[in-house]
């Protein structure tokens, strides 16, 4: 390794071994340069659901040995295998270094080395009997002795199973690693960031340019913000996995594929961040709803040539848009975020880890037969999740007795029924409870209705199913709980869908029931119990593309219980149209996020 040497990590591990297991103050940091502790580590992974355990040790030559044994076999057999593996390594090394001398003197290879003695001792220094099963013998804190070297056994310490940096890095945009931790959590890991510094030939004895890794200022947090000074440099992250019990595992490092690049300049959301610099005070809920434009739609030939021909091809690339999106969402300091058109891979690999680092827990609902869906995030220190009640509209209509009347009515119009059942639209319902006041609960619903301009009758049926389902959740399980219903409704304020949600009813003679196939006209009167109002009003548009602009997105709140404290202004028309339309080099989606602060009356 360049810069972050193996010796450095060994010293670092020594520091961790010396740490007590008691809880340290939250803001205290490890001293990364303390001298090494004399005992090495033997890492044992033993999971009851798996038949084998593993023992991993680093030998004096720096090589790692892994031994996998049945949990039920006697300890003596595992120790014999370790001894055999270590002795083979010693023999190979000796044979390689003395091969010429041995063949010259005797005409034959040298004799193999004797087995290195290997013993396991308990914490009180007693030798563990060799007939004890492995699963009972390898206890945390026991000592493995190989020859003269002693290893402290650490059973199931926090372990990084994945550590990866994003492919695209931009100055001024947050970089958050994707990591998976076994026996620990990402929130308890320790981080150290480095950037690559080129050393010119004149500064070294070598004629070639070389590189070294330099510790980045303010580089000890999970999220790192590259500066303009680091443009052109790659990044490296050294991560030590940790747990809430203040146990720490072996460090691991990841290097970026490419260098930090310059950002796009001013983005459409930066002026909005001036209103959301801090997390909303207790009692307020900052709510965001946003269709983020799924990658599976953005990268099609239709998108590049017909829908968004004005958009620079590189700014439709997922990695580029994710940089903008993570900065935008992080800057809103939201308590609840409802997203639509979220690719499954984006949730798992990008947005989930990034927003987790900013204190938000994520929930995902994929659409049937699709690779995208809905995501709801909530701030962990403000809310805890009580329950989830997600549905697919087509499946709920067919199977849930709640919708029998509607199902029987729809069945009288086969073409409408067929169109409805083919749609993969879904509803995500999450019931949250305040961390500060357990009497305060809130039902958060997130949806994305059918998109077709001629599909208003389908959207009306979908939203009727949604409100009936939510009524059941609230009335039967959480009486009196207020509702926030948000999402991309694909309906302007003049449509029946908006009228129904916002006013509480729609008549069967409303023009939105009309279908292209007149003989298949489906219509019925609908009502719902919720006093819902659009928290952000009726903006001129929330979707702005080359051939269309209009208001399609809403945050509806229960006006009987909740009220709006403030609405964050949308970007100006000049900002939206700087690059003709959306998306653009300065805006990651064809929609605009809705943001408002809500409070209980």
For the annotated catalytic residues, the residue numbers are 488
Distance of CA 342 to the CA centre of its chain: 12
**Residue 251 near residue 12, CB atoms below 8 Å:** yes
Specify whether the backbone of 409 is left (phi greater than 0), alpha (psi in -120 to 50) or beta. alpha
Contacts 24+ apart (CB under 8 A), 497-502: 497/449, 497/456, 497/459, 497/460, 497/463, 498/554, 500/460, 500/463, 500/464, 500/526, 500/528, 501/463, 501/467, 501/528, 501/532, 501/554, 501/556, 502/532, 502/533, 502/534, 502/556
Axis crossing angle, helix 496-503 with helix 456-477, rounded to the nearest 10: 20
Lookup result for tokens 């947090």: 221
CA 583 to CA 592: how far, in whole Å?
A: 10
DSSP 3-state of 352: helix
CA 451 to CA 466: how far, in whole Å?
A: 16
DSSP 3-state of 109: coil
Strands 426-434 and 391-392, how do they pair?
antiparallel
CA 37 to CA 13: how far, in whole Å?
A: 8
Strand order from edge to edge, sheet including 40-45: 64-70, 52-58, 40-45, 149-155, 143-146, 118-121
Specify whether the backbone of 154 is left (phi greater than 0), alpha (psi in -120 to 50) or beta. beta
CA 44 to CA 82: how far, in whole Å?
A: 13
Q: Name the CA dihedral angle for 504, 449, 583, 296, rounded to a multiple of 10 degrees.
A: 160
What are the two backbone dihedrals, phi and then psi, of residue 596, each rounded to the nearest 5 degrees? Answer: -150, 155
Residue 65 CB contacts under 8 Å (≥ 6 apart), including other chains: 56, 57, 58, 59, 82, 85, 86, 89
CA 130 to CA 362: how far, in whole Å?
A: 47
Strands 548-550 and 52-58, how do they pair?
unpaired
CA 182 to CA 184: how far, in whole Å?
A: 5
What tokens does 566 get?
A: 């403030």
C-alpha closest to that of 4 among 176, 167, 193: 193
CA 368 to CA 421: how far, in whole Å?
A: 11
Contacts 24+ apart (CB under 8 A), 87-95: 87/112, 87/113, 87/114, 87/115, 87/116, 89/59, 89/61, 89/63, 89/65, 90/116, 93/61
In terms of Cβ atoms closer than 10 Å to its own Cβ (0-12, 13-18, 19+), residue 326 is buried
CA 311 to CA 305: how far, in whole Å?
A: 9
């Amino acid at each position: 390794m360049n810069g972050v040497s193996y010796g450095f990590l060994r010293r670092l591990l020594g520091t961790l071994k010396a740490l007590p297991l008691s809880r340290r103050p939250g803001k205290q940091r490890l001293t990364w340069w303390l001298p090494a502790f004399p005992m090495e580590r033997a890492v044992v992974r033993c999971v009851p659901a798996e038949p084998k355990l593993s023992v991993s040790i680093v030998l004096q030559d720096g090589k790692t040995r892994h031994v996998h044994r049945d949990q039920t076999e006697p300890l003596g057999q595992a120790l014999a295998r370790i001894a055999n593996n270590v002795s083979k390594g010693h023999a190979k090394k000796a044979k390689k270094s003395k091969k010429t001398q041995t063949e010259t003197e005797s005409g034959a290879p040298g004799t193999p080395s004797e087995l290195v003695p290997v013993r396991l001792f308990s914490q009180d220094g007693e030798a563990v009997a060799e007939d004890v099963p492995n699963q009972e013998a390898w206890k945390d804190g026991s000592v493995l002795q190989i020859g003269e070297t002693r290893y402290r056994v650490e059973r199931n310490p926090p372990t990084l199973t994945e550590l990866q940096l994003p492919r695209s890095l931009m100055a001024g945009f947050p970089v958050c690693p994707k990591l998976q931790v076994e026996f620990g959590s990402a929130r308890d890991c320790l981080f150290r960031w480095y950037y690559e510094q080129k050393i010119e030939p004149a500064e070294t004895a070598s004629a070639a340019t070389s590189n070294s890794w330099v510790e980045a200022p303010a580089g000890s947090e999970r999220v790192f913000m590259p500066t303009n000074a680091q443009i052109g440099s790659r990044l490296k992250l050294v991560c030590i996995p940790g747990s809430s019990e203040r146990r720490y595992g072996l460090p691991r490092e990841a290097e970026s594929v490419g260098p930090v690049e310059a950002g796009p300049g001013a983005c459409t959301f930066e002026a909005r961040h001036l209103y959301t610099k801090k997390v909303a005070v207790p009692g307020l809920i900052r709510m965001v709803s946003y269709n983020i434009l799924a990658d599976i739609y953005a990268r099609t030939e239709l998108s590049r040539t017909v829908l968004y021909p004005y958009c620079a091809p590189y700014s439709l690339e997922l990695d580029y848009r994710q940089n903008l999106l993570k900065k935008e969402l992080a800057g809103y300091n939201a308590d609840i975020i409802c997203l639509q058109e979220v690719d499954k891979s984006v949730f798992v690999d990008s947005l989930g880890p990034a927003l987790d680092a900013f204190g938000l827990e994520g929930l995902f609902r994929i659409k049937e037969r699709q690779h995208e869906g809905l995501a709801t995030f909530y701030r962990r220190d403000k809310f805890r999740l009580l329950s989830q009640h997600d549905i697919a509209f087509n499946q709920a209509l067919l199977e849930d007795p709640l919708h029998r009347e509607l199902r029987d009515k729809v069945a009288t119009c086969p073409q409408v029924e067929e169109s409805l059942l083919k749609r993969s639209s879904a509803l995500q319902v999450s019931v949250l409870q305040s961390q500060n006041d357990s009497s305060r609960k809130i039902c958060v619903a997130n949806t994305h209705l059918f998109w077709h301009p001629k599909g208003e009758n389908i959207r009306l049926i979908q939203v009727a199913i949604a409100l009936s389902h939510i009524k059941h959740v609230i009335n039967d399980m959480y009486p009196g709980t207020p509702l926030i219903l948000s999402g991309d409704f694909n309906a302007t304020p003049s449509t029946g869908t908006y009228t129904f949600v916002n006013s509480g009813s729609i008549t069967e003679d409303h023009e939105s029931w009309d279908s292209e196939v007149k003989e298949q006209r489906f219509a019925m009167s609908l009502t719902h119990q919720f006093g819902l109002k659009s928290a952000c009003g009726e903006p001129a548009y929330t979707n702005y593309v080359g051939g269309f602009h209009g208001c399609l997105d809403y945050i509806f709140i229960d006006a009987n219980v909740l009220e709006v404290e403030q609405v964050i202004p949308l970007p100006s028309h000049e900002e939206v149209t700087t690059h003709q339309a959306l998306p653009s080099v300065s805006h990651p989606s064809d929609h605009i996020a809705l943001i408002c602060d809500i409070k209980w009356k």
